Amino acid sequence: MPGVMATVHTFGRDLGFHVHVHVLCTAGGLREDGVWQPVKIFPAKQYRRLWQYYLLKLLRQKLKGDRGAQRLIGSLHRKYSGGFIVNVMSQYKNGRKAAAYCCRYTGRPPISEKRILDYDGEQVRIGYKDYRDGQDKELVLSADEFLLRLLQHVWPRYQRAVHYYGLYQPSRRKQHFRKVVEASRYAQQALPVPALPRWQRLLLAVGVKEFVCQKCQQAMVLDKIRFRKRSYGAQVSKGTGPPGGAGTPGGSGPQLTLPLSPVWI
């Protein structure tokens, strides 16, 4: 039984509607006797045919009453005799690099802020790299067209873009977790890491970020972190806040002051 995680992306680099799936699969599977069976060969050509067959088969079943869709599906079978595109990448050396891949694609937005090069109140200029020729290009869109391109990639509420199968399936994780740890040579990486308190996670996230004042364009340094006031009056367990700034019920949350230079104003 392998572990498979699939993330559905609907966007291309130019924000066009380009549906594709990123799949992370274990290089092997767990046998019933608890032994890990490695698999080193992934036949890309065979996967192309299988991907085409199962995808079009499910679409044919889903769109059973749509004659136009049935004709289109039949033409896709004939047109792409070699199967649909499947890019089999090399395996990752360890679990941490595989986890970095997961985090990159599971939480990736359609476009990052740094790719929005300019906005003059009417038109938006974005930059992207064309995967067809490897060239860096720019695209100018009206504000309305930019928003329409962006919003077409917003998933409906409660719709999941990430799906898990095999050993990664939520109902099987606890059942097979101990066997996987015993069979894996990366046992220490497979063990769960206790979650850090919220203020520590926030500090790690923003502590390395460079801040620039929007008015004077001078460098700013993070001086303190202050959480919003608790409006629900929840109890705060002891020892959960940062040193010297634990939150109090009904009052302001933890405040973190760092030994850094003052913030530019």
Q: Does residue 201 carry a pLDDT above 60?
A: yes
pLDDT at 249: 36
216-244 mean pLDDT? 60
249 shares a domain with 237: yes
More confident residue, 87 or 232: 87
Task: Tell me, yes or no, whether 42 and 94 share the same domain.
Answer: yes
Same domain? 185 vs 203: no
Structure tokens at 135: 């060239």
- Place 256 in a pLDDT band, splitting at 50, 70 and 90: very low
Percent of the chain with pLDDT over 90: 31
Same domain, 250 and 129: no
Residues 124, 239 within the same domain = no
Tell me the C-alpha distance between 258 and 261, whole Å: 9
The pLDDT of residue 25: 87
Residues 17 and 78 in one domain: yes
Shared-domain flag, residues 139 and 261? no
Q: What is the mean pLDDT of residues 170-175?
A: 82
The answer to whether 130 and 170 have CB atoms below 8 angstroms apart is no
Q: Taking all residues of the chain, what is their mean pLDDT, rounded to a whole number?
A: 79
Do 135 and 206 lie in one domain? The reply is: no
**pLDDT tens-digit profile of 5-61?**
899 999 988 999 998 898 888 888 988 888 888 888 888 888 899 999 999 999 999
Q: Give me the domain span that covers residue 129.
A: 111-152
Residue of higher predicted confidence among 142 and 211: 142
Greater model confidence, 115 or 256: 115
Please say which residue of 123, 152, 181 terminates a domain. Answer: 152
Domains in the chain, number: 3
Instruction: With beta carbons less than 8 A apart as the criterion, state whether 166 and 3 touch.
Output: yes
Same domain, 72 and 174: yes
Gap between the Cα atoms of 194 and 103, Å rounded:
18
pLDDT at position 43 is 85
220 strand-pairing partners: 211
CA distance 123 to 144: 9
pTM of the model: 0.65
Per the listing, tokens 């595989």 go with 98
Q: Is the same domain home to 86 and 141?
A: no
